[in-house]
């Protein structure tokens, strides 16, 4: 027998395996929603690491850009506080009319292993670029397909590229690299998501007077990096030790300090 799923939808706590939507709901037909995914630290939405207000502001900016209705803030927080009692990871989705939908999940069981040992990623064809890349919308088909494609080659992540072959981001996070005496991350102008964890890491690096180069990741640059990793608000930072591409594969030092140092700066 399947376990009951608990989620929050439109002001109500729901115990069900299903969500009922009208057949003409734009969220169903077009993926017309915006969402953010956060990790709750210290069992508190107000923890500095949880970044509750930053995630809410991300939603507000997208809603304003699209001319959609904002959610009821009190109800949004009420739902988040109820779901976080059972789950450390929350996915908050907002529909065009302001309806809120909050689901929860556990942290990946192998997260610590991936943080320590790193993962394999695959470069994907340019057609897998995200739609409206500066917003997190419900139309997430391209990165989902990219990750499925990568998993068929026993890779755990996909790296999206543009038409010129420049590396952009992974299917679920932002890229980081170390090489030539600098930290590197692709620029927002390349058409990537301005990740909340990305902003936090940049802030930490600047505060420690570390030099960060926000420049396009050409294949030549990527080949010269000593170590690379990716980040998001759930997994924090995970090193990438191998990148598969059509002609061969690139190897990186998963024992490099990049992953541990970035994670320690974030948690400090």
Cβ–Cβ < 8 Å for 244, 159: no
Residues 22 and 132 in one domain: no
Instruction: Please tell me the distance from the alpha carbon of residue 154 to that of residue 4, in angstroms, as a whole number.
Output: 31
The answer, as to whether pTM is greater than 0.95, is: no
Output the pLDDT for position 5.
75
**Whether residue 113 has pLDDT greater than 90:** yes
Residue 1, domain member (yes or no):
no
For the stretch 9-48, pLDDT in tens is: 999 999 999 999 999 999 999 999 999 999 999 999 999 9
For the stretch 151-175, pLDDT in tens is: 998 999 999 999 999 999 999 999 9
Cβ–Cβ < 8 Å for 268, 120: no
Question: In 16-26, which positions are buried (b, 16+ CB within 10 angstroms) versus exposed (e)?
Answer: eeeeeeeeebb
Domain residues for the domain of 210 are: 111-267
The CATH code of the domain that includes 207 is: 3.20.10.10
The CATH code of the domain that includes 16 is: 3.30.470.10
The number of residues making up the chain comes to: 268
How deeply is 206 buried, as exposed, middle or buried, from its count of CB atoms within 10 A (0-12, 13-18, 19+)? exposed
Residues 196 and 79 in one domain: no
Cβ–Cβ < 8 Å for 157, 121: yes
Using pLDDT thresholds of 50, 70 and 90, give the confidence band for residue 1: very low
For the stretch 84-94, pLDDT in tens is: 999 999 999 99
For the stretch 166-207, pLDDT in tens is: 999 999 999 999 999 999 999 999 999 999 999 999 999 999
- Of the three residues 68, 83, 105, the one that is the final residue of a domain is 105
């Amino acid at each position: 027998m399947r376990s009951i799923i608990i989620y929050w939808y439109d002001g109500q706590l729901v115990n069900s395996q299903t969500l009922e939507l009208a057949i003409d709901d734009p969220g169903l037909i077009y993926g017309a929603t915006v969402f953010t995914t956060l990790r709750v630290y210290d069992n508190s939405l107000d923890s500095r690491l949880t970044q509750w207000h930053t995630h809410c502001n991300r939603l507000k900016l997208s809603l304003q850009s699209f001319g959609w209705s904002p959610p009821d803030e009190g109800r949004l927080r009420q739902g988040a506080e109820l779901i976080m009692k059972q789950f450390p990871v929350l996915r908050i989705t907002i529909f065009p009319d302001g309806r809120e939908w909050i689901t929860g999940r556990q942290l990946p069981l192998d997260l610590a292993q991936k943080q320590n040992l790193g993962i394999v990623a695959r470069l994907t064809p340019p057609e897998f670029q995200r739609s409206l890349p500066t917003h997190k919308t419900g139309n997430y088909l391209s990165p989902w397909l990219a990750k499925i494609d990568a998993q068929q080659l026993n890779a755990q992540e996909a790296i999206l590229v543009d038409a010129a072959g420049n590396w952009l981001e992974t299917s679920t996070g932002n890229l980081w690299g170390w090489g030539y005496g600098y930290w590197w991350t692709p620029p927002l102008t390349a058409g990537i998501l301005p990740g909340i964890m990305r902003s936090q890491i940049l802030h930490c690096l600047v505060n420690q007077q570390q030099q960060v180069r926000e420049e396009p990741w050409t294949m030549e640059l990527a080949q010269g990096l000593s170590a690379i990793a990716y980040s998001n608000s759930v997994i924090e930072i995970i090193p990438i030790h191998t990148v598969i591409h059509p002609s061969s594969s690139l190897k990186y030092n998963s024992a490099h300090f990049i992953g541990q140092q970035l994670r320690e700066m974030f948690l400090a």
